[in-house]
Structure 1
């Protein structure tokens, strides 16, 4: 079976010709009205305010008490833990201090998460980070890596 695109090209050409005809007809109508002194019907839009009259957008500050720094530190601890966990020369029991630091950071982030209002831009990221750290801590505690 041979597939040809002749019909498709003809259909597109006919559609383009109809669209061009409509556009030229609208232009001809506007031109005729202008010659007769009639105002052309133009879409009305409201003028925009001058820039100096626009009030600045006041963004809600993202918890200025170091939330992002704690989150960054926690993610760094998680990366360090992952690197040490994948190192076969480090015994698993030597990872306990890493887990303790992760747990301490996780507790701080959980209290931060509880204090954030719903819809806060950082809340989803913080929630995902807390869940990830909690899962890693629990996997270590139950002996998945022993």
Structure 2
């Protein structure tokens, strides 16, 4: 078997992943707010559809710019952007991004112990206001 050759571009791409994850979550929330502003504006349905399409196209352009210039070609979100983008997809991305810090904090409270973390998440998921319960968690147990 031939030895694996190092690919510097691939290493740089992998190192860019945490930054890409943060920026992707931020961009989803920003775009969900922008689309909400489009719908809240005094426009005709045709104008709203055009403004929404332009907002989504700007998101795609920002993604390509970040991918090519800041993330060393990291393409981890390419499939997301290759599919149609609608309000539900933007909202889900926004909610996910908002919850990541709370999940990371809970994971730290669980001392990085995955079984304890998963058990804690299951307990929180059973609560009626799980978003607030996740943010208010003071221990893993």
> Structure 1 length as normaliser, TM-score?
0.30
RCO comparison, higher one (Cα < 8 Å, 6+)? 2
Between structures 1 and 2, the one with greater helix share: 2
> Structure 2 length as normaliser, TM-score?
0.31
Larger radius of gyration: 1
